């Protein structure tokens, strides 16, 4: 095997990024490394569209969020031009993978197929695609204007639990099904004229391939339209959403399928290798799952950021009985879980500031208290919470009268970690290793609490653009699978996961024991409080 290059493109809300990895044969198989990364910010480059952070202002003030698909198209030309200008040779590219912001949709009319098939390098992409749309703007994941449509779909499908059972998530305003239903209700002519509905993650590869490329089970699961078990469109969900919808959606396509070679447009204009393969795109979260190396069940990723986010690979299509987490297809096969905890850094910072502590002192305080905090508990709802669903903010304290900084700080961190562990029990899989990212992942004392609560090893993951890297790694995997040399997922990601075991934070047995008991007290306290607020509403 000579040196091979794979490109990952990440079309996110604010920017389009490119990540190129180089794979080189060696005595033990191959080594893989990132050789180039670049990014194009939409607001900085495309002022003419009037977007702020990639999104148009909500002119009606009703929670709508749109972006112009033509801006994404222009960015695609620009990023290839940028690579050309930087003398990045694209002639070694074997395959291109795409990651896209989840849920956003693009509506194409009956001329789209022929426009895509006849792209000419004499004109730019935006000029050629200008007449391909049946809807000028794309609703994106920040849109919260479809509560009515969510309620309508949910009713037809037999209630929230049933929607979650079928599609992996309850109906959410930002999910594509409710967005499509709103379009159908508000502009039935535009809906009728729509030949293809793409997601951002399938629109970009469709341009690259010069033909419509299917939606993968990773992003398909973010639509409230896909049967999470069969990974095919659910006839009931399609019917509940809009008429003839099945005809406007290409079949769900396996994430590692090869959809065809790159369009001649990119070969002639940007010297991309003519045999470069295009695979289906996936959502940025499923793509990040791969970029973080979470390719086999038992590997969990936790990002400690503004919100804390838990990503996990899961073998079976179990669904969250409370409907608060999402289940998507994993591009590595099987499934993934995405759960967002709003009270992340916000809660840690609040308690730190309440006691005027520095981050160093925060760590010292954490260490001063025993695991389980002698029964001191905080329910850390500094803000409303997504998992579990807490619709009103309000921090609850138990056994903390007259307590000081150490008790409070330990209580918040134990609550955060315990809540994540508790609310992922339904997955039915014990984590073996947790890869942790985000600002607070540099705090070893927080990682020790995490290791003790989950009874798993914790390793710091330093990947910065996990979604873009995930797209490039998917390209490598799909290319190998299609050639004579299929490769294990664990090998594909091996050079991007923390490998120095001496740096792992390991669980301490006596802490694990104490925190098992603490988990039960926390479960009971949380349950009672959730019942209390439910009764009050
Ligand atoms: C996930 C979601 C966001 C977007 C961001 O459900 O809405 O994370 O994917 O791009």
pLDDT in tens, 510-520: 999 999 999 99
Mutate which of 15, 223, 283 for ligand 1? The one with the most ligand atoms within 8 Å of its CB, which is 283
What is the Cα–Cα distance from 11 to 398, expressed in whole angstroms? Answer: 45
Nearest CA to ligand 1 atom 6: 102
Nearest CA to ligand 1 atom 9: 102
Residue for token pair 């670049």 = 38
Q: How far is the CA of 142 from the centre of ligand 1 (A)?
A: 8
Nearest CA to ligand 1 atom 2: 102
Give me the chain's average pLDDT, please. Answer: 96
What is the Cα–Cα distance from 324 to 309, expressed in whole angstroms? Answer: 13
Cα angle 158, 163, 167 (rounded to 5 degrees) comes to 150
Q: How far is the CA of 264 from the centre of ligand 1 (A)?
A: 32
Mutate which of 174, 305, 328, 341 for ligand 1? The one with the most ligand atoms within 8 Å of its CB, which is 174
Determine the atom of ligand 1 nearest the C-alpha atom of 283: 9
137-168 pLDDT, tens digit each: 999 999 999 999 999 999 999 999 999 999 99
For range 456-482, the mean pLDDT? 95
pLDDT value of position 288: 95
Q: Is residue 374 pLDDT above 90, yes or no? A: yes
Q: How far is the CA of 99 from the centre of ligand 1 (A)?
A: 11
Q: How far is the CA of 377 from the centre of ligand 1 (A)?
A: 31
Determine the atom of ligand 1 nearest the C-alpha atom of 172: 6
pLDDT value of position 118: 98
Sign of CA dihedral 76, 207, 168, 183: positive
89-142 pLDDT, tens digit each: 999 999 999 999 999 999 999 999 999 999 999 999 999 999 999 999 999 999
Tokens matching residue 178 = 């409710």
Q: What is the CA radius of gyration of the chain?
A: 24
pLDDT value of position 1: 64
For range 380-406, the mean pLDDT? 95
State phi, psi for 414 to the nearest 5 degrees: -65, -35
In this structure, the residues whose C-beta lies within 6 A of any atom of ligand 1 are 12-13, 101-103, 141, 174, 222, 283-285
Q: How far is the CA of 244 from the centre of ligand 1 (A)?
A: 27
Q: How far is the CA of 111 from the centre of ligand 1 (A)?
A: 30
Determine the atom of ligand 1 nearest the C-alpha atom of 142: 7
Q: How far is the CA of 102 from the centre of ligand 1 (A)?
A: 5
Nearest CA to ligand 1 atom 5: 101
Mutate which of 11, 98, 141 for ligand 1? The one with the most ligand atoms within 8 Å of its CB, which is 141
Q: How far is the CA of 449 from the centre of ligand 1 (A)?
A: 28
Nearest CA to ligand 1 atom 1: 102
pLDDT value of position 206: 98
End-to-end CA distance of the chain: 64
Query: What pLDDT band is residue 42 in, cutting at 50, 70 and 90?
Result: very high
pTM over 0.85: yes
Q: Is residue 243 pLDDT above 70, yes or no? A: yes
pLDDT value of position 345: 92
For range 277-284, the mean pLDDT? 98
For range 178-204, the mean pLDDT? 98
Three-class DSSP category at 445: helix
Q: How far is the CA of 101 from the centre of ligand 1 (A)?
A: 6
Beta carbons of 289 and 334 less than 8 angstroms apart: no
pLDDT value of position 2: 81
Ranking 120-124, 207-211, 228-232, 301-305 by mean pLDDT, the lowest is 301-305
What is the Cα–Cα distance from 194 to 247, expressed in whole angstroms? Answer: 10
pLDDT value of position 404: 97
Nearest CA to ligand 1 atom 7: 141
457-460 and 433-437 strand pairing: parallel
Determine the atom of ligand 1 nearest the C-alpha atom of 12: 10
Q: Is residue 464 pLDDT above 90, yes or no? A: no
Q: How far is the CA of 55 from the centre of ligand 1 (A)?
A: 14
For range 177-192, the mean pLDDT? 98
């Amino acid at each position: 095997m000579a040196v091979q290059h794979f490109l990952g493109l990440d079309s996110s809300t604010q920017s389009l990024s490119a990540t190129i990895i180089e794979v080189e044969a060696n005595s033990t198989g191959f080594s893989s490394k990132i050789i180039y990364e670049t990014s194009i910010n939409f607001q900085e480059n495309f002022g003419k569209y009037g977007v702020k952070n990639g999104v148009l202002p909500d002119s009606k003030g009703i929670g709508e969020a749109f972006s112009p698909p033509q801006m994404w198209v222009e960015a695609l030309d620009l990023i290839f031009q940028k690579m050309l200008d930087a003398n990045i040779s694209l002639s070694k590219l074997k395959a291109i993978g795409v990651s896209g912001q989840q849920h956003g949709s693009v509506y194409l009319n009956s001329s789209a197929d022929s426009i895509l098939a006849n792209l000419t390098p004499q004109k730019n992409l935006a000029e050629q695609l200008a007449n391909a749309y049946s809807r000028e703007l794309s609703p994106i994941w920040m849109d919260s204007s479809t509560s009515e449509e969510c309620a309508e779909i949910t009713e037809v499908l037999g209630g929230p639990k049933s929607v979650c059972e079928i599609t992996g998530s309850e109906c959410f305003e930002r999910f594509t099904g409710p967005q499509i239903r709103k379009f159908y209700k508000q502009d039935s002519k535009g809906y009728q004229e729509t030949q293809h509905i793409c997601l951002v993650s399938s629109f970009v590869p469709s341009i690259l391939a010069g033909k419509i490329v299917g939606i993968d089970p990773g992003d398909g699961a973010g639509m409230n339209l896909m049967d999470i078990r069969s990974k095919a469109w659910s006839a009931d969900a399609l019917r509940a959403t809009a008429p003839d919808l099945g005809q406007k959606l290409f079949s769900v396509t396996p994430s590692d399928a090869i959809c065809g070679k790159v369009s001649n447009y990119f070969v002639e204009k940007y010297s991309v290798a003519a045999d470069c393969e295009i695979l289906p795109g996936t959502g940025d979260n499923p793509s990040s799952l791969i970029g973080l190396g979470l390719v086999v069940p038992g590997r969990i990723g936790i990002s400690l950021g503004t919100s804390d986010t838990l990503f996990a690979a899961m073998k079976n299509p179990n669904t969250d009985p409370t409907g608060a987490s999402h289940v998507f297809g994993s591009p590595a096969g099987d499934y993934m879980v995405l759960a967002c905890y709003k009270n992340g850094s916000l809660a840690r910072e609040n308690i730190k500031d309440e006691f005027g502590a520095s981050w160093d002192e925060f760590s010292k305080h954490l260490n001063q208290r025993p695991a389980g905090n002698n029964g001191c508990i905080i329910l850390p709802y500094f803000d409303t919470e997504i998992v579990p669903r807490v619709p009103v903010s309000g921090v609850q304290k138990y056994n903390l009268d007259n307590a000081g900084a150490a008790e409070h700080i330990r209580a918040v961190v134990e609550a955060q970690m315990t809540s994540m562990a508790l609310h992922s029990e339904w997955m039915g899989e014990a984590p073996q290793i947790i890869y942790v990212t985000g600002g607070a992942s540099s705090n070893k004392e927080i990682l020790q609490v995490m290791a003790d609560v989950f009874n798993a090893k914790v390793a710091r993951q330093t990947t910065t653009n996990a979604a873009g890297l995930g797209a490039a790694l998917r390209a490598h995997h799909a290319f190998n699978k299609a050639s004579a040399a299929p490769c294990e997922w664990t090998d594909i990601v091996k050079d991007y996961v923390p490998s120095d075991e001496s740096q792992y934070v390991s669980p301490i047995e006596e802490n694990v024991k104490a925190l098992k008991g603490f988990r039960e007290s926390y479960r009971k306290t949380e349950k009672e409080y959730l019942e209390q607020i439910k009764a009050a509403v």
